[in-house]
Amino acid sequence: MPHKNKEYYAVLTGRIDEPTIFSSWGDVHPRVTGCRSKLKAFDDLLEAQDFVEKNGVKQPKLVIKKGAGETTPLLGNEAFYAVANGRNPGIYPYYHGKTKPEVHGFSGACHKHFRTHSQAEAFIEDWRNSYADVCRREIKAKLDQGSRPPNMGLRGILQANSEYDISEDITKMTEKLILKGE
């Protein structure tokens, strides 16, 4: 039986504007990987809220998805292993022999098991949207500081499925921006 999923993530620092409690690891991972961050995972929302409050935050932002708290596969039922970032992102039927080779030793891997196929799909989509948001914010910050793109071509920003560190993609995008006057 797979272990019980942590369902809520209190993020105090990372690539966020304000302390936030999320219900999807897919939303959290790009915001805390490859940067300084402070976070903790919890089984229920009240524990996450208590943690945030004990860290001096009275009203954290809440990003809670429909069905939160109900993603752990049920005993005797199949599980769906979602790989949002790994060698070959996708949904797999088993961890050992299927999922593990996709994530083991892969820097920046993001994966989790789910009760339903649709939850696994939503997790992958959450990760993609969060990763895109992190990249957009980083590029916007560099543009606001006076950087400019050398051209409007976007080739070479992302890599095909291969070994890489998630922060490398963000670095590549920001390096493509050239400071004014250079």
Question: H or E segment at 31?
Answer: helix 25-32
CB 83 within 8 A of CB 141: no
Query: What is d(CA 26, CA 129) in angstroms, rounded to the nearest whole number?
Result: 9
Report the first-to-last Cα separation within the chain, whole angstroms.
58
Q: What is the mean pLDDT of the chain?
A: 86
Query: What is d(CA 118, CA 140) in angstroms, rounded to the nearest whole number?
Result: 32
**In the chain, what percentage of residues exceed pLDDT 70?**
83
pLDDT digits (tens, 9 = 90+) for 128-148: 999 999 999 999 998 899 988
Q: Which two tokens stand for residue 31?
A: 């915001």
Tell me the average pLDDT across 161-182.
Answer: 56
* pTM over 0.85, yes/no: no
Q: In whole angstroms, what separates CA 87 from the centre of its chain?
A: 16
Q: Buried b vs exposed e over 67-106: b needs ≥16 C-beta within 10 Å?
A: eeeebbbeeeeebbbbbbbbbebbbbeeeeeebeebbeeb
Average the pLDDT over each of 123-132, 143-152, 153-162 and give the range with the smallest value.
153-162
CA distances from 88 to 4, 30, 43, 125 (A): 24, 17, 29, 15
pLDDT digits (tens, 9 = 90+) for 35-65: 999 999 999 999 999 999 999 999 999 999 8
CA distances from 86 to 21, 25, 72, 82 (A): 25, 15, 21, 10
- Residue 103 has a pLDDT of 95
- Between 94 and 38, name the one with better pLDDT: 38
Angle between helices 117-144 and 25-32 (to 10 degrees): 30
